[in-house]
Amino acid sequence: MIIQIIVSVGALLVLIGLWGLLTRRNLIKMIIGFSIMDTGTHLIIVGLGYREGATAPILDSSITPGTHFVDPIPSALVLTAIVIGLAVTALMLAYAVRLYSSRGSALIEDFKENAL
C-alpha cells in the first residue's frame, strides 16, 4: 500500500513538474518544474525499492538473522541520480543567468531567434 502511495505521489510530482515546464514561461520556474520532476522520479525509484516492514540495508551488530532489508540497489541508483540532477539543474541555471544577461528578460519566448 505504501509503495502505491509513494509511487503515485512521485508520478504526480513528475506531472506537476512537467506542467510547470510546459506552461511557466519564466526560465527559473521552468527549471523549478524540472527539478520537481526530478524529485518525483527519485521518489518513484526509492518507492520501488521499499519493502513493507524492512530495514535499511546496513549490517551492524543489531541485525539478527532473518531481518528483511529494503532493496539497496534503488537507493544506490537514486544517489547517483540526485547528484546528476543537481549537476543538470546547476547548468540550467547557469544558462538562465547568461540568457538573462543577454536579453534582460527571463521569459522563454524571448529566446527564439533561431527559428527558421
Partner 1 sequence: MNPLIALAVLMGTAFTMPLFEKAGLKPARLIFLAALTLLLVISGGILVNLLNGAPDLEVATAGFKAPFSINFRIGLAEAAVWSAAALVLLIGGSYMIHREEDGMYDRMLYLVLALGVTGLILTRDLFNLFVFLEISSIAVYGLIGRGGERSLQAGFKYMIAGGISSILFLIGTVFLYRLTGTLNIDGMAAAAGSGSLAGTVGASAVFILAISMLIELKPFPANGWALDAYQEAPSGIGALLSSAQASAVFIAFTKISPLFGDRLAAVLGGIGMLTFFFANLMGMRQKDEKRMFGYSSTGQIGLVIFAWFAVRGTGMPETAAWFIVGGLLLTHLFAKAGLFWLSGLADKSKGEGGNGFLHKVLPSALAGIFVMSLLALPPFPSFFAKMELVKLLVTGGSWWILTALFLGSLFEAAYLFTWLVKKTKAECTDGGADTVNGDSLVVGKRAGPDILTDSPAAEVSSLLKSSTSLWVVIPALALGGLSAAWAYMAGVFNVIAMAPFAAALLMLLLAFLPGRVRGFLAVLVSAAAAWWIWPRTEGIDQIFAMLFLGGGSLNLFAGLYRKDRRPGFWAFSLMTVLSLGALVLARTPLEIFMAWEVMSVGAVLIALQGKRAAGPARTGMLFALGGGYLLMTVLMSIGTTTVLSPAVAAILVVIAFLSKSGALGLHVWVPGSYAEADNDATSLLSSVISKAGIWAMMIFSIRILPGIYGLDGPELWLQAFNSGPFSFLSGILGWIGVLTALVATIVAVFQEDIKYTLAWSSISQLGYIILAFSLFDHFGWTAAIYLSINHFLFKAMLFLAITGVIYRVKTRLMYKMGGLIAPMPITFITVLIAIIALAGVPPLSGFGGKWLVYSALIQGGRPVQAALAMFSSGIAFLYLYRLIHSIFLGQRKDDSLGIKEAPFWLILPQIVLIALIMLISAFPTVILKPIIAAVGELMPAVIGFEGSTLMSAIGYWNGSWVMYVTMGVFMIPLVLLLIGTGRKTRKVKQFNIVFAAERPYRPETTHYAHNFFAPYRKALGSLMNPLGRKFWEGSAGGVTAVSSAFRRLYTGNGQTYALHIVLFTMAAALFAGVFA
Partner 2 sequence: MIKRFLAIIALLGAAAVLLPFVLNLPTEEALPELASKYIENAPGELGAANLVTSIIVTYRGLDTLGEVAVLFAATAAVGLLLKRTGNEVGVSHWKSSEILKSGGGFLFPLIILYGVYIFLHGHLTPGGGFQGGVVIATGFLLLLLSGSVDSFNHTVMSLVESLSGFAYVAVALAGLIWAAGFLDPRFLPQGDFGRLFSAGAIPVIYSLIGLKVGAELLGILDAMRCKVRREGVTA
Partner 3 sequence: MNIFIVIILGVLMLAAAGTALYMKSLSAAVIAAGAVSLLASVLYLLLAAPDVAMTEAAIGSALTTVVFLYALSRMRGTKKEDPRD
Residue 28 binding partner 1, by CB under 8 A: no
Q: Please state, in angstroms and rounded to a whole number, the distance separating the CA atoms of residues 30 and 109.
A: 12
* 53, 68 contact by CB (below 8 A): yes
SS3 49: helix
Residue 6 binding partner 1, by CB under 8 A: no
Q: What, of partner 3, partner 2, partner 1, none, does residue 66 touch, CB below 5 to 8 Å by kind?
A: none
> How many of the chain's residues bind partner 1 (CB under 8 A)?
38
Q: Please state, in angstroms and rounded to a whole number, the distance separating the CA atoms of residues 80 and 63.
A: 27
- In this chain, which of 56, 62, 66, 115 binds partner 3, going by CB under 8 A? 56
Residue 44 binding partner 3, by CB under 8 A: no
Q: What, of partner 1, partner 3, partner 2, none, does residue 59 touch, CB below 5 to 8 Å by kind?
A: partner 2
| Alpha-carbon distances of 112 from 11, 44, 94, 103, 107, rounded to whole Å | 31, 34, 18, 12, 10
Residue 21 binding partner 1, by CB under 8 A: yes
Q: Please state, in angstroms and rounded to a whole number, the distance separating the CA atoms of residues 47 and 116.
A: 44
- In this chain, which of 26, 63, 64, 102 binds partner 3, going by CB under 8 A? 26
**Cα 10 from chain centroid (whole Å):** 9
Q: How far is the CB of 114 from partner 2 (least distance, A)?
A: 18
Please, what is the angle between helix 2-23 and helix 27-49, to 10°? 160
Per CB under 8 A, residues contacting partner 1 are 14, 18, 21-23, 25, 27, 30, 34, 37-38, 41, 44-45, 48, 73-74, 77, 80-81, 84, 87-88, 91-92, 95-96, 98-99, 102, 108-109, 111-116
